[in-house]
Every structure is written in C-alpha cells, then in structure tokens.
Amino acid sequence: MSQREFTVAEEYRYDRRSPLRWIFSHIWRYPHLPLTAVAGFVTGSALYSFALTRVGAAFDLMLARPDLGALFAIAMTIVFARIGHGMAGLLAWYATEFTAQRLERDARDELYVSLLGKSQTFHNRQKVGDVMARATNDVQQLNFMISPGASLIYISVTSTVVPLAAIALLRWQLLLVPLIFLAAFIPAVRRYSRELNPITGRLRFQFGALNADLAEAVSGIEVVKAYAQEAQEQGKFSAAARRYRDLFVEQGRIQARYLPLLLYGLAFGLAFGHAALLFLNHELTVGEAVTFLGLVSQLRFPTFISLFSFMLVEMGLAGAERILDLINSETELDENTDGRRAPISGELVFDGVSFGYGEVAQAAGARGLNLRGISFTARPGETVAIVGQTGAGKTTLTRLVNRTYDTTVGRVLVDGVDVREWSLDALRAQISTIEQDIFLFSRSIADNIAFGAAGQATREQIEQAAREAQAHDFISGLPDGYDTVVGERGVTLSGGQRQRIAIARAFLTNPRILILDDSTSAIDSATEDQIQRAMRRILKGRTTLLITHRISQIRWADRILVLRGGELAAQGTHDELMVQSEAYRRIFARYTSGDRGTGGHGDGETRGRGDTGTGGHGAGETGGRGDTGPGGQGDTGTVLAEQSS
C-alpha cells in the first residue's frame, strides 16, 4: 500500500496491479451480481436455442403428417421457452446494470478518497480539469464498459457457443462452415481491437487535455477578460476540440473497416450451400436445414455487436488506466496514523531546515533550494514575525510546519517532536493557517466559518467566532446573513471580508499554532483597524508565525525573522534589527516609506481612524481595493469610506 495523508475506516481493498485486475476486483466485490448475470445469460441463450430446435421439429412434423395436437404442444413449448428466455435476460441485465453502476460509484469513491490522501506536491502537478475528466468521464466509461460493453461480449460468447453446440447436436458435419468462420473471426476481432487500442487511449487523454484547458480558462476568466484574450482562448479551445474530434473520426474509420461482418456474410452463404448439399444427399431434412440456418443466423448478432462492445471495453480499459494512474501515483507524505497524538503546547523549532520544491530544485543542488539552513525557536504563545521581499520564502517556510511539505534537510519540531513523528491528523487539527490567498467554498458563510470544525459547531459558536473576528457586522448585512452562499472562489466577498472569515474559521478551530500570511493583503484603511483588532485577538495565547509588512503588526512580535533569498538574514526584535540588520532596514525602507509618507499604514492609522471602521466598511472595502500600492491610493479608499458613512 502506498503512503497517503488520508484514509477512511474499513476501506475495501482492490487489486491495483493492472487495469484489468482492478476492474475484476471491483466486479468481484459483489460476487452474486456477476454470477446472477452469467447464469441469466446462459439460461436465456440455452432457452433461445432450444426454441429454435423446436421450430425445426415443427417443420419436420408438418411435412410428414400434420398433427394439430402435436403442433400445438410444440408451439406452447416455444412460447414458454421464449418467455423463459425473456425472464432470464431480464434478470441478467438487471444484475449487469447493478454491477456497472456499483463499479462506477465505487471507483469514483475510491478515486476521491485517494485524491484526498495525496500530498500537496502531487496536487501541484495535476491540472484540475484533467483530474475532473478522470473523476467524471473516465469513471463513467467503466460503467459503459460493463453495461452494455462486457455484457454484450458475454452475450456474444454465449450466443456463439450455444448455437454451435446446438448445431453439433443437430449434425456435427454442419459445424464445418461456422468453425471456419470462427477461425477467421477471432483474429479479425483481435486486429480490430489492437488498432482501436491506441486511438481510445489518445481519445481519453485528449478529453482530459480539453477539459484542463476549459477549466483553466474558466477559473482564470478574470485575467482572460482583463487582457481581452477571449479570441486567443477560444482558438486554443477549438484546436483542442478539433484534435478530439479527429480522433473520433479516426476511430470511425477503423470501425468502418470492420472485417468480421463481411466474413459473416460469406459464411452465411457457404452454410446455406452446405446445408443444401446435405439435403440433396438426403442427409438432412428440410426442418433440420431450417434449424441450422436459424442457428447460423444467431451468429450475426455477436459479429455485429462486437464492433461496439470491443470499443466500449477498450474505452473502459483506457479510462481504468488513467484512473489507476492517479490512484497509484506515489505521494510523498504519510498519514502516520500511529504517530504522536497529544495536545500541542506550542513550542516550535526549526533546526537547520533546508527545503526545495520538487525534483528540479533538489537536483539543482544547494542553490536550487528555496530555503537554506533556517534555524529558530518560538516558545509557546510567542508571535514570530517573518519579513522578507517577495519570493524570499516566507510562505514556503510556514508550509513546513503543518507538513504541507516535508523538509529536504533538517527538522521542524513541535513541542520537541519532529513533525514527521506526529500523527498528521493530530498535527494539522491543531495548526491553523490563514493563507495569503484565502479560498472560500461555494457554501454558506456559516459553513465556511465552520469548515475546520467538521460540522460540530453550533450556530451560536459560529456567530461568536465571527464576532471575535470582527466579521459579524458585515455578515449580518449580507442578503441571507450567515446563510449567504459564497460565489465560487469567493468572488462575492472582498479581500478584507474573506480574511475576517478566515480568522473566524481559525477562532472556531482554536489552534495551538497559528500561521497568518498577510504579506500582500489588499485592505483599505477603514476596515484595516477591524482586522488588526481581530488579528490581535486571535494571536493571543497561540504560537504564531506572522508574515506581514505592516509596521503596526510587526510591533506585536516577540521576534522577527528576516528572510532573504531563502536564507535567514537576521532575527531579533524590531529595535535590535533596525540597528543590526541592513537587510531589515532596507525592507522597511521599501515597504513602509509609502505608509509613512501619507500616514496611512504606520502609526497614523491606529491613532486617527479607529472609529471610521464600523460605519463605513461596506463601501469602504470596495473603494479601497487598490490599497496595496503606495500611500496615495490608500487615502482615496479611506476618503470614500468616510464619505459613505
């Protein structure tokens, strides 16, 4: 079993060594279904052939001495045989459909659980659209592969074998033509399947690529529109769609060249000739000849249907391969269920930590690493600020704490224990991250706040958390209050509102270690004070890594780490660093000169704008979006907020 970060209890184990084994292990999970299907198809086919032999017998009877009673008896036998055939078929199809639906459901479930258990590194490599294509379309191909694909193949086999047996019983010499036909049919089908195989594989792949393009364009629609790249994107999509279509045309071409149908036509003619010959030699009655031709004509169905059934099976196998690819791909981290589980008191130590994303960085050697030789200690309850220019590795550093990634060299210790020795679940449950780019689910605000609490939180608790995060007021102002559903990717909320929802989420989970990535947040000054208060409150009593460039927040820190190009350039208090660290002074020259100039983000905000926040946040947030830039814009935002209040 490969490593993973998440498991469900009593998970069913499938054989994942090859697509075929995997599919069989799925089917065999409910053995009664495939067995019922097989029994149903065999019985049905036997009854059908039996009815045919009765038709032949009736002909012979009519030609010899018409006897109404005997004919009626034969007719009734045929009726019952055909009714039995229908019932058996019903049962068989019912079981097949169940098998197919369960296969689809279970495979999708299995894939989803496996995706949840994959590491962040794995997910960074995947294109969302392609994963979606595999989870929806490829999984559905599995369903079609069983019903009608495999069952048609199965029916084909029985409706070949059973008529052949019936022919042998009738007169074994008559097997001649059907057997020659089969001898030619099998290699022809195999060739067909071999030709089809690469095309179906490419079809599945292209569908994934098409979907990935689409998903990217839709989720990046803002950028597409902002840069007026609609035509460009449409062109790219059309090209991908055309490649997909071309593969279908190619598939159609292979199907059109399907040889077995022609072979069957020839075989039927030959069989008729053979029967005629035997009849002329008085070795066959008319009735037997009729039965024989009836049986031979049964072979038409498997010949014809194999055109589709093999294609469906090929598609299913190609889909299975793509799904298994995802499921079986190695993931870097392990859930470590047997690891340490204990309440965290909050001591955090980085001990000679180096880290590089992916193989490329690591192959590039020490220079390719994104973090190099980081060591520092945060005592329980301390706030450690991290500053550094963009790309310095601030976010990267915080990702090593909850094992979003594992260190390449060195150790990260929580309460003196290597994070790799903690149970991943216990570790992550006690660490909250308020990320730089806050993601909200398309669910209600209340659900978003309660997200980390796994559905345990009451409405009162949710509201309490929102109050502490200074979010209650604006939430109450939304059309449905806490039940307002957030548009996808949080588009209906401003950056500052999202940040407060994230803070509320953190309040509710009550983590021992908190990571607050605030480095590029775009918040207008009017609401900033609220957020400052919310942050201040959430830090209290928790070990906090605070990424920020706001001088007011830096002041809360017990210690400041200065990162430069992935290395720890200096650490200490603000006053110490102002004296000691050239890098620190430079950063603050860069990030605070604008604030200082307008009095916007520096001390001015706390003194002067404390009370504008509550009244003006509605318009203020929209007015002040551009506030990331240097001072001037920030002021405009504030003015707007003040006017509207």
Ligand X SMILES: Nc1ncnc2c1ncn2[C@@H]1O[C@H](COP(=O)(O)OP(=O)(O)OP(=O)(O)O)[C@@H](O)[C@H]1O
- Beta carbon of residue 489, minimum distance to ligand X (angstroms, whole number): 19
Q: Which is nearer to ligand X, 299 or 554 (CB)?
A: 554
Q: Which of 40, 44, 339, 388 binds ligand X (CB under 6 A)?
A: 388
Q: Which of 204, 274, 394, 512 binds ligand X (CB under 6 A)?
A: 394
| HSE of 22, CA atoms in CB hemisphere, 13 A | 23
Contact present, 611 and 578 (Cβ < 8 Å): no
Give least dist CB 520 to ligand X, A: 6
- Identity of the residue, 370 or 430, whose beta carbon is nearer to Mg ion in the bound complex: 370
CA 123, CA 121: separation in Å to the nearest integer? 5
Residue 621's nearest CA partner among 443, 434, 473, 433 is 473
Cα–Cα distance, 497 to 503 (Å, whole number): 10
Whether the CB-CB separation of 408 and 356 falls below 8 Å is answered with yes
Nearer to ligand X, 124 or 476 (CB): 124
The distance of closest approach from Cβ of residue 348 to Mg ion in the complex, given in angstroms and rounded to an integer, is: 18
Q: Give just the sign of the alpha carbon dihedral 592, 387, 524, 472.
A: negative
How many other C-beta atoms lie within 10 A of the C-beta of residue 259? 14
Considering the complex, what minimum distance in angstroms separates the CB of residue 518 from Mg ion? 10
Residue from 69, 183, 390, 416 touching ligand X (CB under 6 A): that is 390
CB of 390 to Mg ion, least distance (A): 7
> Restricting to residues 338-377, which ones interact with ligand X according to CB under 6 A?
357-358, 370
589 Cβ contact partners less than 8 Å away, ≥ 6 residues apart: none
CB of 224 to ligand X, least distance (A): 23
In the complex with ligand X, which residue's Cβ is closer, 292 or 591? Answer: 591
- Kindly report each contact of residues 366-373 with a partner whose C-beta sits within 8 Å and lies 24 or more positions away, as own/partner: 369/408, 369/566, 370/396, 370/566, 371/396, 371/397, 371/400, 371/566, 371/567, 372/566, 372/567, 373/410, 373/567, 373/568
Site string for ligand X, 124-163 (x = CB under 6 A): x---------------------------------------
User: Which residue lies nearer to ligand X by CB, 158 or 396?
Assistant: 396
Cα separation of 380 and 415, whole Å? 9
Which residues are bridge partners to 434 per DSSP?
516
Q: Could you tell me which stretch among 168-176, 240-248, 283-291, 384-392 binds ligand X (CB under 6 A)?
A: 384-392
In angstroms, how far is the first alpha carbon of the chain from the final one?
A: 61
CB-based contacts of 415: which residues, under 8 Å, 6+ apart? Answer: 342, 344, 345, 346, 347
Q: Which of 251, 298, 303, 396 binds ligand X (CB under 6 A)?
A: 396
Interface map 70-109 toward ligand X (x if CB under 6 A): ----------------------------------------
Structure tokens at 101: 């639906």
Please tell me whether residue 328 binds ligand X under the rule CB under 6 A: no
- According to CB under 5 A, which one of 395, 521, 548, 638 is a site residue for Mg ion? 395
| CA 596/CA 603 separation, integer angstroms | 8
436 binds ligand X (CB under 6 A): yes
> DSSP letters along 413-472, please?
EETTEEGGGB-HHHHHHTEEEE-SS----SSBHHHHHGGGGTT---HHHHHHHHHHTT-H
Q: Considering CB distances under 5 to 8 angstroms, the limit depending on partner class, which of ligand X, Mg ion, none binds residue 392?
A: ligand X
Backbone angles phi, psi at 540, to 5 degrees: -55, 125
Nearer to Mg ion, 22 or 584 (CB): 584
Instruction: Please give the Cα distance from 392 to 400 (Å, whole number).
Output: 15
The answer to whether 291 and 49 are in contact (CB under 8 A) is: no
Nearer to Mg ion, 380 or 565 (CB): 565
CB 546 within 8 A of CB 386: yes
Q: If contact means CB under 5 to 8 A according to the sort of partner, which of Mg ion, ligand X, none does residue 19 touch? A: none
User: Cβ 521 to ligand X, closest distance in Å?
Assistant: 10
Among the listed ranges 151-159, 266-274, 345-353, 388-396, the one in contact with ligand X (CB under 6 A) is: 388-396
Compute the Cα dihedral for 206, 211, 214, 219 and give only its sign.
negative
Using the minimum distance from each CB to ligand X, give the nearer residue, 40 or 393: 393
497-536 footprint of ligand X as x/- string (CB under 6 A) = ----------------------xx----------------
- With CB under 6 A as the rule, give the number of residues binding ligand X: 15
Is residue 206 within a helix (H) or strand (E), and if so which, with residue range? Answer: helix 176-219
Q: For ligand X, what does the binding mask look like between residues 105 and 124, x meaning CB under 6 A? A: -------------------x
- In single-letter form, the type of residue at position 424 comes to L
Least Å from the CB of residue 197 to ligand X: 36
CB of 517 to Mg ion, least distance (A): 6
> Closest approach of Cβ 354 to ligand X, in Å?
13
Measured from the CB atom, is 492 or 592 closer to ligand X? 592
Least distance between ligand X and beta carbon 370 (Å): 4
Using alpha carbons, select from 82, 292, 50 the residue that is nearest to residue 162. 50
Q: Which of 251, 303, 395, 521 binds ligand X (CB under 6 A)?
A: 395
- The tokens for 315 are 């598609």
391 vs 541 by CB, closer to ligand X: 391
Q: Which stretch binds ligand X (CB under 6 A): 24-32, 75-83, 394-402, 523-531?
A: 394-402
Task: Fill in the amino acid letter for 441.
Answer: F
Return the axis-axis angle of helices 68-116 and 19-27, rounded to nearest 10°. Answer: 120
* Residue in 295, 15, 45, 30 with CA at minimum distance from that of residue 151: 45
Of residues 421-450, which lie at the interface with Mg ion (CB under 5 A)?
436
Q: How is residue 184 annotated by DSSP? A: H
Using CB positions, name the residue nearest to Mg ion.
395
The one among 391, 477, 541, 597 contacting ligand X by CB under 6 A: 391
Q: Of residues 34, 201, 302, 393, which one binds ligand X by CB under 6 A?
A: 393
Residues that bind Mg ion (CB under 5 A): 395, 436
Residues that bind ligand X (CB under 6 A): 124, 357-358, 370, 388, 390-396, 436, 519-520
